[in-house]
Chain A
Amino acid sequence: MKRLTIPLAPIALLPALLGLALFRVYPIVLAVFESLFSTFRGERLFVGFENYILLLTDNGFWQSLWVTLWFNLIINPLQVALALLLALMFVQKVPFIGIFRFLFLIPIGVSLPVAVIIWRIMLLPDGLLNGFLGALGLPPLRFLTSPELALYSIIAIATWKGISYWMIFIIGGLQNISPEIHEAARLEGASSWQRLWLVTLPLLKPTLLFVLVADVTINFLLFAPIFMLTNGGPRNSTNVLMYEAYKSGFVFGDMGRAMAIVVILVALLLVIVGLQFWLLSGRRQGAAS
């Protein structure tokens, strides 16, 4: 049989590469380009790095950056840990696990805006959650309007919505670990705790790395719950960089500043994701060698 001379691999990759270029690379290049311009009195002017330089002395930007970092520092480990816990529970063979599995999967079927609206109603001052608190004899909490609680309420909603999705990936990873390894560990006399630490988690690392990187990317760019629930307030406590950029560009018509913020956000994300790859995959190689 004659071999095909057409380079099949590049052709097969072409649609994906085109999509990548069109929907990822082009917007980034455009954002970098636009961040070098400003509009004065209807005229678009090239200002070089001025938009970036002004951000350095801009309290609003620094505060927003801090909120973004703090938000991600909490939500990402929390989501990955809970997703892992759920996945470990999901694969257990215990009575009534079917009901739990069904419940775990509900949030995936609900779209984010719908979930946010439902949660907003539950978190109202006289909503369901405060009703429970009242029944327990506790005072009502202002979940979305107090600066101390608003960010954590957003974290809770995003976590509720997100963990089942990440759980599915981790279940996939767990099922990839061959039962023989566990069997061998059991014969060696390893307790279930030791098997989790010494067998399951190390073998799950590639999956966890993927989940962590994808989760961080999504949470750094999280926008909808903040837009729908708090508008960055109260006291800017939920004003993440994505929302600050949106407000700058679409509320105040200051596209130069908005694009500069977006570019910084993407750069920050690249650094953090790079760091995660380096730390997690680096250690894995070290352990293997």
Chain B
Amino acid sequence: MKIRTAFATSVVAFLAATGTAQASTTLTILMLEGLDKGAMEAVADAYMAAHPDVTVEIQALPWGQFFQVSDLRLRSGDENIDLIYTDAPVVASYAANGYIAPFGAEIEAQARETLVASAGQAGTFEGELYALPMNSSAQVLYYNIDLLTEAGIEPPAGLTADGQASADDIQAMATEGRWTWERLVEAANAVTKTEDGRTQTWGFAFEQFGELYQLQPLGASLGGAIISDDTMTAADYLDGDAWRQAANWWSGLFNVDEVSPRALGFGEATQMFVNGQLAMFVGGTWNVPAIAESDINFGIAPHPRFAEGAAVTPTGSWYLGVHAASPDAEAATDFATFATLSAEGTGIWFDNLNQLPTTLALLEAIDTDPAYDAFPGSVMRLSAWESRNTAQPRPVTVAFSQLQDAFRTAFVDIANGVDVDEALVTAVDAYDEAARRLNRQ
């Protein structure tokens, strides 16, 4: 028997003895530290207010060890975890390994009515729904208007604190006003200031340094996929022409133009932007509240593309699954549907995290409600436009962890001055070996 069940039983016994008997359940969610945790706490508070017999506890892990620790705890069948927060590309591997349990036909039908189809699909494995989406995501270009103007650069067409943007304005901004990466590097060069060999103001950074989610649009903009359709190889894809060109551009940020700081940790780009040390960064819309609170005069523009390429943006985000070993699976499922499908739960999550929602009702409101004409609601409208027109999901493969690691290693190495071809070929080798191992039999 689990310790906490024993504890709950003794609490029940005690309450029964004092005449206020109540069944008690504790649900534990294993999730990511940071803003997401705060939003989940708000959702949990609302749920607990409606279900006084349930206690929701959140165990948060830092980004750097999140997947590793989750994997170990799920693999060991740790009964203390009822719900697992997980990134979309990992759902397939969790489902395949039997870590998470399918939701069943009734909730699947409910999900079909409530969610955009793509979000439901990403939580589906071999025809069954295993994970429900908390939200989707979109990336935008944040720029410091004062720093750009001081350097003689006209800022890109974007959304600013005092502006309004109709759906048509957003369309025009995203189709005609979108900056190219080439233009961005020019601007970054103009803004970057160095004194005594130390850079005081940086031109540009990506929020998630070297991560596949963040950088996939670089190769994709030039038409390059990361792996083959059958997921068996990355050869001629990740080391193909498109990705070579993209990786060379990335290398230039650090090794030629020196406009981007090497090896930013989680949250550092946002912090530098808020401190006025960074003129532009591509990051998630979840940064809007923190930046809006600062004194920085900033704007938000659509995600850049290559001059000769198409606009492609990152998408996909976090899901909630019920741990197969949970002793309180029914209660866990109820919480998961509250958080991801109910109007109340999804509304609280959206208000707290400012992430692109996946429910049809919220997306409809973003497109049509005049409340989203004004900043920062307009940012959500831009995100919704990107999700319909330019968003490209990450590849689905059983060797996704290995792919993500190989990709990160290659792009961190390239930023550190390793030859582009060599880094990409090493990553291809690492992925192909993993794909071969995991797809044998």
Contacts and interface: CB of A to CB of B under 8 A. Distances in A.
A60 B429 contact: yes
A50 B436 CA distance: 12
Interface stretch (B19-27, B187-195, B412-420): B412-420
A126 B261 CA distance: 13
Interface string B405-441: 1000100110011100011001001100110111011
A126, A142, A232, A254 pick with most chain B CB within 10 angstroms: A254
B61 to A, nearest CB: 14
Contacts of A142: 416-417
Interface stretch (B67-75, B131-139, B225-233): B67-75
A41 B426 contact: no
Contacts of A247: 405
Contacts, number: 68
Nearest to A50: B440
A42 interface: yes
Nearest to A125: B262
Contact of A235 (B98, B418, B433, B438): B418
B166 interface: no
Contacts of A59: 429, 433
B263 to A, nearest CB: 7
B18 interface: no
B405 A234 contact: no
A40 B441 CA distance: 9
Contact of B413 (A40, A41, A147): A147
Contacts of B417: 142, 145-146
Given A145-B263, A234-B412, A126 B68 contact: no
Main DSSP-derived SS at the B contact region: helix
A234 B413 CA distance: 5
Interface residues of A, number: 29
A257 B402 CA distance: 13
Contact of A252 (B402, B416, B418): B402
B121 interface: no
Given A234-B413, A235-B413, A253-B75, A41 B96 contact: yes
A166 B99 CA distance: 47
Contacts of B412: 233-234
Interface in A48-73: 50, 54, 58-60
A41 B401 CA distance: 15
Interface in A127-152: 134, 140, 142, 145-147
Nearest to B432: A59
A234 B437 contact: no
B388 interface: no
B434 A252 contact: yes
A235 B263 contact: no
Given A146-B417, A147-B413, A251 B68 contact: yes
B409 A233 contact: yes
Contact of B430 (A60, A146, A251): A60
A114 to B, nearest CB: 20
A156 B334 CA distance: 56
A236 interface: yes
Interface string A234-255: 1110000000000100111110
Contact of B418 (A54, A125, A147): A147
A39 interface: yes
A9 B194 CA distance: 73
Contacts of A254: 437-438
Contact of A250 (B68, B97, B422): B68
A236 to B, nearest CB: 7
B2 interface: no
A60 B433 contact: yes
Contacts of A54: 436-437
Given A232-B409, A251-B405, A253-B97, 6 more contacts: A42-B98, A60-B433, A146-B416, A147-B418, A247-B405, A252-B434
28 contacts: A42-B98, A50-B440, A54-B436, A58-B433, A59-B429, A59-B433, A126-B198, A140-B197, A142-B417, A145-B262, A145-B263, A146-B416, A146-B417, A147-B413, A147-B416, A233-B412, A233-B416, A234-B412, A235-B413, A236-B409, A250-B68, A251-B67, A251-B68, A251-B401, A251-B405, A253-B72, A253-B401, A254-B437
Q: Which 6 residue pairs across A and B have the least CB separation, nearest first?
A: A42-B98, A42-B97, A145-B416, A59-B429, A235-B418, A41-B96
